[in-house]
Amino acid sequence: MDLFKTVEESYDRMGEMYHNYRDNEKFNNQLEQFIELLPSSGQILDAGCGVGIPTSKFLVEKGFNVTGVDISKRMIELAKQKVPEGRFYQKNLLTMDFLDDTFDGIICVYTLWHILRSNHRTIIHNFHKMLKTNGILVLNTGIYESEGMSQFFGEPMLWSTSDPRKTLEFVEEIGFSIVFEGILTLGGEKQYWIFAKKDEKSELS
């Protein structure tokens, strides 16, 4: 089974329904904390942008230059309609080809758990390369290690998460300093969140 294709096609079919169902304001505080760490009018990557709401829309309304990527063609079509100020591309997070030192911030939330956890370190490493010095990374994952398939809004969906301690270890080993890490309960759900900074002294060669 091509799990990337499965996730892509499932979100093509049910992503708009999911968006209309979800609580799109449950992590507004985290978005506010993110922008407080960023330079004004900075270049931001919304990695796993969905339909562009809430993250991309929130950021463009605060004056940031937003690039959004998502594996689902349908999600990208909707993002272009809903957030015309952003730039949106259908891309796989594992094979993104943005240049090094492109972004002041990268936010990847409610996304990594749809990618096999064996790929998470590679993705985070690529985020590090794409960030400028002092760039900020925000990501979240599940709160315990697990991997499997289930039905999600009537479609097959992959769920894959490393133990939070392992995710934290990845982030630190790759060369980030931790601004915040911990389990947050938002909208009645618990996720593990990390805010991290790419320090000049810790840049990888």
Average pLDDT, the chain: 95
Strands 155-161 and 131-141: unpaired
pLDDT of residue 161: 97
What does the pLDDT look like over 22-52, one tens digit per residue?
A: 888 899 999 999 999 999 999 999 999 999 9
Residue 103 has a pLDDT of 98
pLDDT of residue 44: 98
Taking CA atoms, 154 is separated from 16, 40, 150, 188, 198, in Å, by: 13, 41, 9, 22, 39
Q: Rounded to the nearest 10 degrees, how much is the dihedral formed by the CA atoms of 192, 200, 97, 76? A: 50
143-169 as b/e, with b when 16 or more CB fall inside 10 Å? Answer: beeeeeeeebeebebbebbbbbeebbe
Q: What is the pLDDT of residues 73-86, one digit of tens each?
A: 999 999 999 999 99
Domains and CATH numbers, the chain: 3-22+30-199 (3.40.50.150)
Confidence of residue 205 (pLDDT cuts 50, 70, 90): very low
Q: pTM (2 decimals)?
A: 0.96
> pLDDT, tens digit, for every residue of 111-161?
999 999 999 999 999 999 999 999 999 999 999 999 999 999 999 999 999
